[in-house]
Amino acid sequence: MDFQKQQDRFRRSKASWLGRGVERLTHPLGKTVADIVPKSLVEAVLKGIDSAVGAPALVNFDHDPKDIAAARRASERVSRAARGISGASGAAAGLGGVLTAGLDIPATIGIALRVIRDTGRAYGYDGEGEREKLFRLQILELSAINDPKERKARIAALEAMIGPHGDLIIADHKRILPVVDQAIERVSRAIALAGFRSRAGMLVPVVGSAVGATVNISFQGDVGKAARFAFQERRMRAQSNLVEQ
């Protein structure tokens, strides 16, 4: 299996069809959902990102994290589990109309954070500390971005954080805290925009359940792909460094 080709394909990839299509269709209704769920609520969920580290695993692992092929298979299991859970919650939320459509956004973010956490664990990274928190936020932000140029820039920024041993390169603890706060603001803005617009179709009773399930499944798929790219890059650099030594 050529892992480098997998990484290159992700670098060249565009946002999912849902991100590029559904937002255009639901844009006129997007502000209605935005009024129901203020961005501050999204920020509050993101500020509790460390709680995702202690949450139960979506799936159990029994592989060697240094085996990249096995780690990738495990991470794909995480993504499938999340799509199932989030799809079901989105379908249920879509039946309730505007109120449940708004409340589903924080729940979806919570599942996404667990996807990122568990994907990291599949590749041998436990997610502890401020650097890891920022790294998870960057992955989440990348998952919510549809603009090709901005997406490319965020991928580059994510890779720039990864050192030659798979470690994370960033400023010291005192300097990282403001950076994390800035990331929370930026991520909440990106997710609020994407989430409000794409879920606006849930306001239409006949199609609300289908839209809710489809939006959530697609988003968790995007999160899983971004997380696999990020943690696989870390593991590949770590493995490459060991070979060179």
The model's pLDDT over 99-117, given as tens digits with 9 standing for 90+, comes to: 555 566 777 788 888 899 9
Residue 4 lies in a domain: no
Q: How sure is the predictor about 95, in pLDDT bands with cuts at 50, 70 and 90? A: low
The answer to whether the beta carbons of residues 53 and 176 sit under 8 Å apart is: no
Residues 6+ apart with CB under 8 A from 93: 100, 101, 103, 104, 107, 202, 212
Enter the tokens of residue 69.
Answer: 């092929």
Range of the domain at 138: 25-240
Higher pLDDT, 146 or 207: 146
Residue 19 lies in a domain: no
pLDDT at 221 over 80: yes
- Specify the number of domains making up the chain: 1
Residues 6+ apart with CB under 8 A from 73: 63
Mean of per-residue pLDDT scores for the chain? 75
Q: How sure is the predictor about 30, in pLDDT bands with cuts at 50, 70 and 90? A: very low
Residue 145 lies in a domain: yes
User: Looking at residue 80, what is its pLDDT?
Assistant: 92
Residue 62 lies in a domain: yes
Distance CA 89, CA 141 (A): 22
pLDDT at 86 over 90: no
Q: How sure is the predictor about 140, in pLDDT bands with cuts at 50, 70 and 90? A: confident
User: Looking at residue 209, what is its pLDDT?
Assistant: 62
pLDDT at 44 over 70: no
Q: Write the pLDDT tens digit of every residue in 121-131.
A: 999 998 888 88
Residue 18 lies in a domain: no
User: Looking at residue 212, what is its pLDDT?
Assistant: 63
Distance CA 73, CA 77 (A): 6
The answer to whether the beta carbons of residues 182 and 48 sit under 8 Å apart is: no
Residue 63 lies in a domain: yes
Distance CA 177, CA 93 (A): 35
User: Looking at residue 22, what is its pLDDT?
Assistant: 46
User: Looking at residue 159, what is its pLDDT?
Assistant: 94
User: Looking at residue 34, what is its pLDDT?
Assistant: 47
Q: Residue 152: count other Cβ atoms within 10 Å of its Cβ.
A: 13
- 59, 71, 74, 143: which is closest to 109 by C-alpha? 143
Distance of CA 35 to the CA centre of its chain: 23
Q: Write the pLDDT tens digit of every residue in 5-27.
A: 999 999 998 776 554 444 444 44
